[in-house]
């Protein structure tokens, strides 16, 4: 009987060692995956924080306190001003949606929301999206699915994820299928420039964008361009 105990103990030790090895491997793999996710989050945050800040600030400047004066200038100026008002204003909104969509593509939503800073960022992004999709505040309505669709359309298909430039955007607007997605917004811009009252949505979007830019640039070091984006 004693002779049989040794092989049994050896087998038990071998099995236990294999189980421990598997468990340790799983733990180490989980830690490695978490580390990789954290690194990826930091990479995405550093890569897109400044473009997001620029896009949010630029859109807010166009929709902000000077909107009445800008509309008056666009309405009373030459045709070039009207064309600029339509397409460049639309581009500012589309570029913002593009950057947000790229961020959602590159980072898993649940992972992105685990840390407090990231949860706060998501909260502010959702607030901007909610202001755009609120059906009770007049023109310039962009529903949630439309926001994602416009963001997707604005992503340059060539090279790494990035938004179309303004010249590229103008060229793409010659494509009827591409332009059809943006036509409702162009119609709304035309209505406001043509004399309709500025919709209540402006104030809600401006407020949400202001909170987003404040959050992204608390130390006021990321917006060296000042108010020039208002032009």
Q: Where are the domains of the chain?
A: 47-230
Q: What is the pLDDT of residues 176-212, one digit of tens each?
A: 999 999 999 999 988 887 788 888 999 999 999 999 9
Give the position of tokens 């979007």.
Answer: 205
Cα separation, 30 vs 201, in Å, equals 45
Whether the model clears a pTM of 0.85, i.e. scores above it, the answer is: no
Cα separation, 159 vs 205, in Å, equals 32
Q: What is the mean pLDDT of residues 37-48?
A: 62
Cα separation, 111 vs 116, in Å, equals 12
- When the pLDDT of each residue in the chain is averaged and rounded to a whole number, the result is 79
Q: What is the pLDDT of residues 218-230, one digit of tens each?
A: 755 555 444 444 4
Give the position of tokens 């607007």.
Answer: 173
Q: What is the dihedral of CA 41, 45, 48, 49, to 10 degrees?
A: 160
CA 83 to chain centre: 26
155 CB-near residues (< 8 Å, 6+ apart) = 98, 101, 102, 161, 162, 163, 164
């Amino acid at each position: 009987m004693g002779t049989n105990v040794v092989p049994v103990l050896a087998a038990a030790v071998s099995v236990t060692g294999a189980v421990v090895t598997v468990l340790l491997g799983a733990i180490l793999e989980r830690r490695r995956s978490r580390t990789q996710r954290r690194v990826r989050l930091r990479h995405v945050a550093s890569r897109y924080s400044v473009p997001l800040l620029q896009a949010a600030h630029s859109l807010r400047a166009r929709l902000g306190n000077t909107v009445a004066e800008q509309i008056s200038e666009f309405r009373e100026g030459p045709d070039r001003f009207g064309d600029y008002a339509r397409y460049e204003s639309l581009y500012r909104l589309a570029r913002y949606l593009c950057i947000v969509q790229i961020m959602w593509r590159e980072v898993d939503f649940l992972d992105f929301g685990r840390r407090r800073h990231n949860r706060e960022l998501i909260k502010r992004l959702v607030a901007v999206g909610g202001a755009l999709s609120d059906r009770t505040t007049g023109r310039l309505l962009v529903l949630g699915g439309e926001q994602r669709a416009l963001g997707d359309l604005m992503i340059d298909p060539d090279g790494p994820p990035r938004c179309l430039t303004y010249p590229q955007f103008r060229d793409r607007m010659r494509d009827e299928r591409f332009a059809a997605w943006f036509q409702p917004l162009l119609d709304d811009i035309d209505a406001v420039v043509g004399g309709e009252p500025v919709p209540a949505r402006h104030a809600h979007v401006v407020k949400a964008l202001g909170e987003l830019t404040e959050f992204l640039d608390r130390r006021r070091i990321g917006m060296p361009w000042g108010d020039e984006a208002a032009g």
